[in-house]
Amino acid sequence: MSAMKRKPVQQKSQIRWKRKVLAALLVSLCLASFVVVETQYSRIVSLASLRHRFTVKPKIAFLFIARNRLPLDMIWDAFFKGEENVFSIYVHSRPGFLLNKGTTRSAVFLNRQANDSIQVDWGEATMIEAERILLRHALTDPYNERFVFVSDSCIPIYNFSYTYDYIMSTATSFVDSFADTKEGRYNPKMDPVIPVYNWRKGSQKSLPEFWRDRPFPADPAKEHNCIPDEHYVQTLLAQEGFEGEITQRSLTYSAWDLSASKDRERRGWHPVTYKFSDATPKLIKSIKDIDNIHYETENRREWCSSKGKPAPCFLFARKFTRPAALQLLNLSLLGARRGAKSET
């Protein structure tokens, strides 16, 4: 009897053991399946991310520095139309100013103002801080690969496609930079922190109409002889040894050589302001025809090129009033790929 009783007990024990083994196998199989699914999912996500990365074109970030409104917003609206996925816009205006339907007629500028803007004064270091604020915002988007500073009086002179291709086709940055120690611009007290051989100057990357808020000095040579944002980026790049990574010219045209003009607004420290009467085909053609820049202080002539071939030097121009810019747009003088130059 005892032997017969032990047999069913052993059988039950074996059955329980087999169930445990089967359960363990099922759990292991489930875990293995989960790991495989998780691994495949991660691979799929990674491949999708890579595919997205290669199909999404890099963007150009346009960094506008303005006093309040953007008076030429409709010019830029026409420039950006149809290119929504390959550009970003960031605007630095006075603190508290909002770009809404009451302050801009262009949808691309709505709510594009920096929420941490500062008060900017012409000729002061606050201009540099405004540029830094814009860059901080633009760098949060990983698809922004080029950064263009634009003033509120600046216009594009080619269409977006040509502008994008021109900027993206080079591995270098365009920064107007040249050695200039004349007129007391370099202060010997800066040595040895900033030695004279690293002191650089360039045309201002962005200059809104702040100067209209203050009168002209009786002797302009005695005021603002060293304007910070004309030197900061250029000298910083020289100090850090990055000059080999830049093309030492600007993409924005400004006319400075009008000191003999009888028009007070066209003299002194500021580029000429183009008015309605100036907005002619001849003006735009003359800007588009420029293919080299001479730097007198370095005895250097920069011949402009794109993709290894001769090309126009400038993609943008300033300073244009709203009537002048709208006149150019109405005459269809803005946006042509090469303007009056023939294709070769």
| pLDDT tens-place string over residues 98-150 | 999 999 999 999 999 999 999 988 767 888 899 999 999 999 999 999 999 99
Q: What integer pLDDT is reported at residue 207 of this predicted model?
A: 33
Indicate if 148 and 257 belong to the same structural domain: no
Indicate if 174 and 306 belong to the same structural domain: yes
The H or E element that residue 34 is part of is: helix 2-55
Number of neighbours of residue 136 by Cβ within 10 angstroms: 12
Contact in structure between 228 and 126 (CB atoms under 8 Å): no
- Does any domain span residue 247? yes
pLDDT in tens, 1-35: 544 445 555 555 666 655 655 555 554 555 544 44
Indicate if 169 and 86 belong to the same structural domain: no
Indicate if 164 and 148 belong to the same structural domain: no
The whole-angstrom separation of Cα 145 and Cα 52 is 16
Indicate if 114 and 242 belong to the same structural domain: no
Indicate if 264 and 296 belong to the same structural domain: yes
Q: What integer pLDDT is reported at residue 337 of this predicted model?
A: 54
Burial (CB count within 10 angstroms: exposed 0-12, middle 13-18, buried 19+), residue 19: exposed
Indicate if 192 and 98 belong to the same structural domain: no
The H or E element that residue 235 is part of is: helix 232-239
Last residue of a domain, one of 134, 152, 170: 152
- Does any domain span residue 217? no
- Does any domain span residue 28? no
The H or E element that residue 324 is part of is: helix 322-330
The whole-angstrom separation of Cα 103 and Cα 110 is 9
Last residue of a domain, one of 152, 176, 202: 152
DSSP 8-state secondary structure symbol assigned to residue 316: E
Indicate if 188 and 280 belong to the same structural domain: yes
Q: Based on the structure, what is the number of domains in the chain?
A: 2
- The pLDDT tens digits along the chain (344 residues) read 544 445 555 555 666 655 655 555 554 555 544 444 444 445 544 544 444 455 689 999 999 999 889 999 999 999 999 998 999 999 999 999 999 999 999 999 999 999 999 998 876 788 889 999 999 999 999 999 999 999 999 999 999 999 999 999 988 889 888 887 666 678 888 888 888 888 888 765 433 333 333 343 444 444 445 677 778 888 888 888 888 888 888 999 998 755 545 555 444 556 889 999 999 999 999 999 999 988 877 788 889 999 889 999 999 999 999 999 999 999 888 875 544 343 33
Indicate if 189 and 308 belong to the same structural domain: yes
pTM: 0.74
Q: Which of 79, 207, 72, 97 is nearest to 150 (CA)?
A: 207
Last residue of a domain, one of 109, 135, 152: 152
Number of neighbours of residue 125 by Cβ within 10 angstroms: 13
3-state DSSP assignment of residue 313? coil
Q: Which of 128, 124, 145, 121 is nearest to 227 (CA)?
A: 124
The two structure tokens encoding residue 191:
């040595």
Domain carrying residue 325: 154-210+226-333
- Does any domain span residue 31? no
- Does any domain span residue 18? no
SS (H, E, C) 195-214: CHHHCEECCCCCCCHHHHHC
Indicate if 286 and 178 belong to the same structural domain: yes
Q: Which of 40, 43, 61, 59 is nearest to 51 (CA)?
A: 43
Indicate if 134 and 179 belong to the same structural domain: no
